Amino acid sequence: MAQTQSTEKSGPRAFILASRASKLAQIQTNLVRDALETTFPSLSFDTSFMTTEGDKNQSQALYLIGGKALWTKELEVALKDNAVDMLVHSLKDVPTILPEGCEIGAILERENPVDSLVVRQGIPYKSLGELPDGSVVGTSSVRRVAQLRRSFPKLIFQDVRGNLNTRLAKLDAPDGPYVAIILAKAGLVRLGMGDRVTADITAPTLYHAVSQGALAIEIRSNDRQAQELCKAIIHPETQLKCMAERALLRELEGGCSVPVGVGSSVTDVEKDEGVVKRAVLRLTGCVTSIDGLTHVENSVTELVTSTLQAEAAGVKLAKILINTGAKAILDDITLDRAKRIDESKASEEVQKIETAMAGSS
Ligand SMILES: NCc1[nH]cc(CCC(=O)O)c1CC(=O)O
């Protein structure tokens, strides 16, 4: 097994940071490496980039393949094999339950978590409200589609897959179907393409995804050294908010593919040596049916003195949402997904038979 810890050799251990190979992932990983190098100038940090299932499977709707660790699994295998030491993820893509032996070592300062509208180059529309009826808007997120159908029932929402550069290329393609696409602002900003944002789509029109805009470092639970390094670069307010948001999603038993939106804030923060001792956490959550016709939304405001209490606030809000209608929406989605998976399997079977018959004739 590849053993990267220099236990036998003398000299400090070199830490390998790993992520997906997309441009955004590389930028994010380099950001984290820079932060670690600045904080620990005597240690050395390297990067390693790899392709994940989510990168390879670009054709199937996320709605169907979602719920799995699409963007993280291969990386976690490398982490557990000691081939790498720290995984840098968009926290939004990290399942709410981690594999045994892995943990989040740090959550870093969040970019603006809002979703943004990006209109095709050369088209003058300035907001979703200005788009003519029947305009095609690209997004692969059921959360965005479900919420936006409520306010814009006459727009047509259509899947657009690929990394950010691919999606922008699809938007601007002269023969492409999209008038606009919707993206997380954070990704665009980190890629230096914040100028492509036409407008932000804020709550209550659109609540952002759980953990959108935040980066996380995943480490082996038994790696004390990595734990210590991570502690030094935690952003406490972001960590508090994201732990609450993730607890909400975990309790709702959803992955990135359920229409759950959130908004969170922390105020009245009292800190001691960088650690939050007290803060007022306000968390709003919503669950929306895919057709946009049913929507439940609620909030909690809690005085919290630990991340555990922040998580408890998330769980509390999830229970409130479940008791006020979210349960029925989520059950419907589970049924619908099972049906669609059956259908896509059946059509795969038909294709296989057809191919076999064509081959034998
Ligand atoms: N699954 C896609 C994904 N994962 C993380 C980001 C970038 C923004 C972020 O850090 O939340 C994006 C792109 C998008 O949603 O537009």
246 backbone dihedrals φ, ψ, rounded to 5°: -65, -35
Q: Is residue 361 part of a domain?
A: no
Q: Is residue 208 part of a domain?
A: no
- The reply to whether ligand 1 has any atom less than 6 angstroms from the CB of 255 is no
- The reply to whether ligand 1 has any atom less than 6 angstroms from the CB of 213 is yes
Q: Do 80 and 227 fall into the same domain?
A: yes
Give 320-333 pLDDT, tens digit per residue. 999 999 999 998 88
CA-wise closest residue to 303 among 318, 313, 293, 316: 313
pLDDT of residue 63: 52
For residue 185, the ligand 1 atom closest to its alpha carbon is 8
Q: Which position among 85, 93, 115, 223 bears the catalytic label?
A: 93
Give 11-70 pLDDT, tens digit per residue. 778 999 999 999 999 999 999 999 999 999 999 999 999 987 766 665 555 555 555 566
CATH number at residue 173: 3.40.190.10
CATH number at residue 313: 3.30.160.40
Q: Is residue 49 part of a domain?
A: yes
pLDDT of residue 302: 98
Q: Is residue 207 part of a domain?
A: no
Residue with CA closest to ligand 1 atom 8:
187
Q: Is 93 in the active site?
A: yes
Q: Do 244 and 178 fall into the same domain?
A: no
Distance separating alpha carbons of residues 129 and 169, to the nearest angstrom: 23
Q: Do 32 and 59 fall into the same domain?
A: yes
293 lies in which domain range?
A: 235-356
Among the ranges given (8-12, 52-56, 117-121, 143-147), the one the predictor scored with the smallest mean pLDDT: 8-12
Q: Do 242 and 343 fall into the same domain?
A: yes
Q: Do 241 and 349 fall into the same domain?
A: yes
pLDDT of residue 60: 55
Q: Do 225 and 196 fall into the same domain?
A: no
Q: Do 252 and 154 fall into the same domain?
A: no
Q: Do 239 and 345 fall into the same domain?
A: yes
Q: Is residue 295 part of a domain?
A: yes
Please tell me the total count of domains within the chain.
3
Q: CA angle, corner 68, sides to 62 and 69, nearest 5?
A: 110
Give 200-255 pLDDT, tens digit per residue. 999 999 999 999 999 999 999 999 999 999 999 999 999 999 999 999 999 997 55
- The reply to whether ligand 1 has any atom less than 6 angstroms from the CB of 90 is yes
Give 251-294 pLDDT, tens digit per residue. 997 554 679 999 999 999 999 888 889 999 999 999 999 999 99
Q: Do 153 and 228 fall into the same domain?
A: no
Q: CA angle, corner 207, sides to 111 and 295, nearest 5?
A: 165
Q: Which helix (H) or strand (E) holds 159?
A: none
Among the ranges given (169-178, 236-245, 346-355), the one the predictor scored with the smallest mean pLDDT: 346-355
Distance 215 CA to ligand 1 centre (A): 10
Distances in Å between the alpha carbon of 71 and those of 14, 215, 274?
Answer: 25, 14, 31
Q: Is residue 163 part of a domain?
A: yes
Q: Do 219 and 103 fall into the same domain?
A: yes
Q: Do 148 and 290 fall into the same domain?
A: no
- The reply to whether ligand 1 has any atom less than 6 angstroms from the CB of 201 is no
115 backbone dihedrals φ, ψ, rounded to 5°: -90, 145
pLDDT of residue 344: 76
Q: Do 119 and 97 fall into the same domain?
A: no
Q: 62, 141, 212, 235: which to mutate for ligand 1, most atoms within 8 A of CB?
A: 212
- The reply to whether ligand 1 has any atom less than 6 angstroms from the CB of 186 is yes
Q: Is residue 264 part of a domain?
A: yes
pTM, two decimals, is 0.89
For residue 186, the ligand 1 atom closest to its alpha carbon is 8
Looking at per-residue pLDDT, the higher value among 123 and 338 belongs to 123
Looking at per-residue pLDDT, the higher value among 353 and 220 belongs to 220
